[in-house]
Amino acid sequence: MPPFEPLTRRDALDAWRDFLPKVPSYTSTRNSVQPGHANVSRLGACIRFRTLLEDEVIRDTLERHAFGVAEKWLQEICWRRYWKGWLETRPSIWTRWRQRVRALGLELPAERLARAEAVAAGASGVACMDAMARELMETGYLHNHARMWWASFWIHVEQLPWELGADFFFRHLLDADPASNTLSWRWVAGLHTPGKSYVVRLSNIEKYAPHYLAGDSSGNERLADVSVGATVPENIDAFAVQPLLQTPSFSPPAMKNFGIWLHPDDLVPEIGPLAGLAPTSIAACFSESIYRETFQLSPRRIAGLKVVLRDALERAAAHFGCATLALKAEDPADALCSWAVENKLSEVVALAPMVGPVRDMLGSLERRLQAAGIRLTLLRRLSDATAFSFVSAGFFPFWQKMRRHLNEVYL
């Protein structure tokens, strides 16, 4: 099956234009898992890297469709921002997950590690689950229902640590997102809402994905409803809630000579708070060794990151009319600081990175720039700041606030 997720902005806009008329039927068709997945948008990767903005998707939806008809679709689009906002105030969930992935690789008994590898390789012996694992590795995509089933199979049937399953998804999904992925896995495991875990049911797979079972039902007895218990892993951790990263309200940089730093958490600089600026230079940095060695991303994932960064730099060059630079470096903070010094920048401006790989290097970048006498200014889109301020507990209280807000802004 060929990869079919749009990544560049042009492909994303084309795909979104094609999907927009299907929004009214999304509610009734979205749960079904079909070959080719034409019943869902497959916009995950371009929304994750923001070569397409949720704001654009919401605006176009409400220009074309009534709120009531599009509500389920709008909810799903906003789920991502809910997860993002949730993780922004609990960054230690991300840090702890990365630590556990490393530790489990050393601590888990060899027989358990071998089983984890076999299940991830699509050799569990349960044919439908193995088909899903192969689809993920071959395309970088899985339907939401398949993600839920497979994660539940990993945790509740195979009784493998959720952290390693989440790592498998993170290495292969083209739309892999630190918030949506980590928190969805925790939700399936019963850690997001303690005591409530998601348990896979064979009847559910048969109803929504008959083609996964066609011709080969081997291993399905392991999914028989009665044999699957909700096994909540130990250590239901309470993570300290931290205040949201403070970003200044928009004001043009005070200094004349400033640069824009582009990173894969938000790649549409030509729309939003950066759009009206006149930078001297624009840089994006790509560290293949971090992605390949630290995160062990699949070649497809790494290629996807290169595509979105190149695409953003090309658009930025056309929009801002200044030099753009693709830095390749082992140490991104070091490379970005050198770029700022060489270009005699007094300030570097960027959209605030969110919790995840880019934010992990922020402290180091800030320290180096500060030592070189260069200011770092992080801006946040107003729509993100508003959505994040609505996140307190569960999704539905968030959605009530979001719904009211969208009605005020767009209708």
Ligand X SMILES: Cc1cc2nc3c(=O)[nH]c(=O)nc-3n(C[C@H](O)[C@H](O)[C@H](O)COP(=O)(O)OP(=O)(O)OC[C@H]3O[C@@H](n4cnc5c(N)ncnc54)[C@H](O)[C@@H]3O)c2cc1C
CB of 253 to ligand X, least distance (A): 31
Q: Does position 47 bind ligand X by CB under 6 A?
A: yes
Quick one: which segment of 169-177, 288-296, 346-354, 367-375 binds ligand X (CB under 6 A)? 169-177
Out of 119, 148, 335, 391, the only residue in the binding site for ligand X (CB under 6 A) is 148
d(CA 22, CA 39): 8
CB of 75 to ligand X, least distance (A): 9
What would the two tokens of residue 77 be?
A: 């689009």
Give the dihedral of Cα atoms 325, 331, 334, 336; nearest 10 deg.
20
Q: Which helix (H) or strand (E) holds 323?
A: strand 323-328
**Smaller CB separation from ligand X, 258 or 390:** 390
CA angle centred on 99, ends 378 and 354, rounded to 5°: 20
Q: Does position 286 bind ligand X by CB under 6 A?
A: no
Q: Which residue has the tokens 């790509």?
A: 286
Out of 185, 261, 339, 388, the only residue in the binding site for ligand X (CB under 6 A) is 185
Q: Does position 180 bind ligand X by CB under 6 A?
A: yes
CB of 149 to ligand X, least distance (A): 9
User: Where do runs of H (alpha helix) occur along 89-161?
Assistant: 91-107, 110-120, 127-139, 144-152
Q: Does position 199 bind ligand X by CB under 6 A?
A: no
**Smaller CB separation from ligand X, 43 or 333:** 43
Q: Does position 208 bind ligand X by CB under 6 A?
A: no
Q: Does position 58 bind ligand X by CB under 6 A?
A: no
Q: Does position 42 bind ligand X by CB under 6 A?
A: yes
Out of 32, 144, 257, 383, the only residue in the binding site for ligand X (CB under 6 A) is 144
**Smaller CB separation from ligand X, 120 or 348:** 120
**Smaller CB separation from ligand X, 165 or 253:** 165
Q: Does position 79 bind ligand X by CB under 6 A?
A: yes
CB 172 within 8 A of CB 141: no
**Smaller CB separation from ligand X, 252 or 394:** 394
Q: Does position 171 bind ligand X by CB under 6 A?
A: no
Q: Does position 43 bind ligand X by CB under 6 A?
A: yes
Site mask for ligand X (CB under 6 A), range 355-374, x = bound: --------------------
Task: Reduce the DSSP state of residue 40 to 3 states and report it.
Answer: coil
Q: Does position 140 bind ligand X by CB under 6 A?
A: no
Burial of 166-205, coded b for 16+ CB within 10 Å and e otherwise, reads bbbbbbbbbbbbbbbbbbbbbbbbbbbeeeebbbbebebb
d(CA 95, CA 285): 22
Quick one: which segment of 140-148, 287-295, 313-321, 377-385 binds ligand X (CB under 6 A)? 140-148
What would the two tokens of residue 280 be?
A: 């001297």
Number of Cβ within a 10 Å radius of residue 66: 11
Pairing verdict, β 258-262 and 281-286? parallel
CB 124 within 8 A of CB 158: yes
CB of 107 to ligand X, least distance (A): 23
Q: Does position 83 bind ligand X by CB under 6 A?
A: yes
CB of 411 to ligand X, least distance (A): 21
What would the two tokens of residue 336 be?
A: 């970005």
CB of 384 to ligand X, least distance (A): 14
Please spell the DSSP secondary structure of 47-87, one letter per residue. HHTTSS-HHHHHHHHHHHS-HHHHHHHHHHHHHHHHHHHHH
Q: Does position 33 bind ligand X by CB under 6 A?
A: no
**Smaller CB separation from ligand X, 43 or 128:** 43
Provide the angle, in degrees to the nearest 10, between the axes of the packed helices 67-88 and 178-189: 90
Out of 12, 40, 283, 358, the only residue in the binding site for ligand X (CB under 6 A) is 40
Interface with ligand X by CB under 6 A: which residues?
30, 40-44, 47-48, 76-77, 79-80, 83, 143-144, 147-148, 151, 169, 173, 175-177, 180-181, 184-185, 188
